[in-house]
Amino acid sequence: MEVCVIAKCTYKSETMMFSVSSESSMVDILKTLCLRFKGLQLGCFTLRYSLPSYPSCFLETDSDLDMMRTFLFVSNEKSVDILVKDLCGSSEYSGDFCVNKELIACEKGESSCSSTVEDRNEFLGRSKRASAKPLLSNEWETYIHHVGQKFDGGAEEFRLKLCKYALEVGFNFLYAGNDKKRVVAICSNKKLEGCSWRVYASRCEATGCFVIRTLNNVHTCVGRIRESKSKMMKSRVVSSLIVDRIRVKPKLKPVEIIHEFKDYYGIDISYYHAWFGKELAKLNVHGDESKSFNELVWYADAVKETNPGSLWTLECEAGINRFRRFFVSFGGCIAGFQYCIPLLFVDATFLKSKYKGQLLCASGKNGNQGFYPLAFGVVDSETEENWTWFLQHLASILLPMGRVVTFFSDRNQGLLNAMGFVFPGWPHSYCYYHLKQNLISKYPKSGYGKSLQDRVINLFSRCTYAVTEEEFTVAMEELVIVGSSKVKTFISDLSRDHYANAYFKGMRYGEMANSLAESFNNWVGVFRDLPVLPLIEGIRQKLMVLNSQRLIEAEKWTTILCPEMETRLWENAEAGRTWVVRRSSFTVFEVFADYSVMVDLEQRTCSCRLWQIDGFPCTHAVAAILAKKDSIYDYVECYYRTDFFRKAYESPIFPIPDIGKGLGSNSFAAGVVLPPITKRPAGRPPTKRIKAFGEFKRPLKCSRCSVTGHNRKTCKAVI
C-alpha cells in the first residue's frame, strides 16, 4: 500500500509541511521536526494528529504512524494536521520520546546529552535550571489549529478561544471584521512587519455553529513570547474562567481572582479586569437583577405547584407594577412548625444587591436546640408598615395552629408597634444581648472606666435573670444607685414584663436572646448580594438540604429525647444523686441540696423556679421524680421528644425545577414586574454591618497553648 500524505505540523503558532510516505518512520519525523523548529529538543515534546470528530489522536510510535496512514488511505485524505506539544517540566517527560531520542543519537553515532544535563542539575543545588510549572493555560495553544474546526457556541465561543490561543502562543491580534455572522482576525504586527497570520471564521447557517473557513497559522513577525501581561486578557476571558468558581463561591474577592490567575495560569490581570470579570460571571450565573423581579411571577406559580400548602405573596405598586415586597413560607416548614417549641425569633438584615432592601425572617426552634426557619420576605426598609404586613402573614400561619407563640426580637420601634397590633397579648421578649449593648453604649470606657461599665452590666444581668420579684427588686435598687440618672432613663423606657424572668408573662423555654434569628442571618449571608430570585431560590435549596439531612440524622437516634436534651436530662440526674428527698404528699416532695426546695410534680413547679422558666425538669425535679420512681420522660415537654423532631421534618421541601421556565405565558397584571426605584449612595457600597457601640468580636484563643490570636489547628507553639 503506497501512501503519501502531506503533514502540516504546528508548533507555537509556526507551521511547516513535509511529506509522509510509506517508508517514513517516527525517527524520520522526529529528526525533521527538531531540525526545522528552533528550540525543540528531543524527549521534550509529544505529537498529536487531528481527524474529523477526533481532534487529539496519539502519534508516539511506529504503530501509531501506520494506523494514521491506513486511516488516511481509507478516508481518501491527502493531508493531516499534527500538533507539537511541549512536555518540559511536566510529568510526561518520559517514555517513548526519550527512547526515540536515544535511538536517533545512536544512529548518528553520538551520545545523548540528557544525562549530562540531568547530572549537572543534580549537583548545582539552588542554582539548577528551574523546570516549567504545568499551567491550566497550556492547552489553550490547541484551541485554533485547522480549517473546518467547529465552535458550537457560535461567535462568542470562537472569540473567547481565539483570545486564549493568542495569550498562550504570545501574540496580539486585531479584528478586521467582527459581527454575529463572521469574524476576521489578523496579527497586530501586520502593518509594522507585514505578518501574514490571519484567521477567518463564519457561521454555518445549517447548524448555527462557527466554522474556521481560512487559516494562515504561520507568523512572519519576530519577537513573539508568552508574556505575563497581555492586551488579550479581557474581562470576558476572566469571566469565562471563573464562572464555575462564582457559582460555588459567590463572595469570591477580586484580589483572590488575581492571585489564582497568577498561580494557575501564569497571567497578571488588573484589579479592574478581576472585578468586572466577576460581575460578568455573576450576571452569567444569576441573570440580570432587574429581570429577576419579573421572574418572581413564574416562581410564585412554581412554588404553589411543587410545594402544596405554601404561603406566597407578591405585592407591587398599583398601576405601575413596581415591586414592593414579598413573603414566602414553604409548605414543609408550615407543617413541621407545630412540632417545634412555640418560640419565634424575628429579625431583619440588609441586602447587598443592586436594589438593596431588607430581608425579614421568622425562625423557630426544634427540640434539639437547632433553628427552624419558618418564613422570610424582602421589603424596601424596616418600617412599621412592612413589619405589620409581614406579621399579618405570619398570623395566617400561626392562628390556625391554635397555640400561643412567644416572640423574640430587638427593640425596633416599627416592629414593637406592629407586634402590639397584630398579636395583642402574645408574649414578646426583648433580646437580652441587644439590651446589654444599649446599656454599654451609655457608659463608654473612656469616660467612665471599665470597672463601672462591668459593674452596671453585672447588676443589669442580675435583674434580668432574677427568678423572683424580691431578687429583682434588690438588684434593681442597687443598679439605680450605681448607674444614677443614665440607668433611670434607660429603665423608664423599658418594660420589665419583656425582659425580666421574674415578671415575664409566658414561656421562654430558657431563651433570653434573639440569637437564633442572628444564626439564620449568618446562615443565608452568602446569598445576600444576589438578585432577588437567586436569593429566594438559594435559601430554599439550602433549607431543603438542611431539613432532609436532619430527618436522615434523626432516623438514627435511639433515644427517647433528642440527643441535646437527653444529655441535659441525665446531667441533671447525676447532679442530684447525693441529695436527700423526702415525700410530703403523693406529688409533693422536699429536696435537700445546698438548701431545701419544694417540688410539686402535679403542677410541674419547683421553688427554685427553673422548671417553670426553662420548661424542662430542673435538678431538684429530676431528683423528686426518681424518688417517686416515675419515668422521667413523662415530665418532659413533648417538643423535646425524638418522635416530635422527626415529625417536624417529615414534610419535605420539594425541588422547583426550572427546565420549563419561560415556556409558559405567566404574567402579573400588565405582564412585567419592574424593579424598585433606588438611589445609589456615594462611594463604594458597604458590605459589612456597622457594629453598635461597645460591640466587639470575641478574640480567637488557642485551646492548645491558651494564647490569643490563633486556633488549635494553626498552633505552632512547642509544648
C-alpha closest to that of 419 among 387, 396, 393, 397: 387
The overall average pLDDT reported for the chain is 85
Residue 178: is its pLDDT beyond 60?
Answer: yes
Mean pLDDT of 499-516: 91
Residue with cell 444581668: 461
Q: How many helices (H) and strands (E) does the chain have?
A: 23, 21
What's the pTM value of the predicted model, to 2 decimals? 0.72
Mean pLDDT of 242-257: 88
Residue 161: is its pLDDT beyond 80?
Answer: yes
Residue 678: is its pLDDT beyond 80?
Answer: no
Residue 658: is its pLDDT beyond 90?
Answer: no
Dihedral-angle region of residue 7 (phi above 0 means left; psi in -120 to 50 means alpha; beta otherwise): beta
Give the pLDDT band (50/70/90) at residue 103: very low
Mean pLDDT of 644-658: 94
pLDDT of residue 3: 64
pLDDT of residue 694: 45
Residue 92: is its pLDDT beyond 90?
Answer: no
Task: Kindly list the distances between the CA atom of residue 190 and the CA atoms of 144, 167, 221, 223, 297, in Å, as whole numbers in the listed order.
Answer: 19, 18, 8, 14, 54
Percent of the chain scored above 90 by pLDDT? 47
pLDDT of residue 470: 93
C-alpha closest to that of 216 among 232, 202, 195, 231: 195
The answer for residues whose C-beta is within 8 angstroms of residue 266's C-beta and 6 or more apart is: 133, 135, 137, 228
pLDDT of residue 632: 93
Mean pLDDT of 77-82: 86
Residue 152: is its pLDDT beyond 70?
Answer: yes
Give the pLDDT band (50/70/90) at residue 684: low
At 191-202, the pLDDT tens digits run: 888 898 999 999
Name the least confident of 26-30, 80-84, 147-151: 26-30
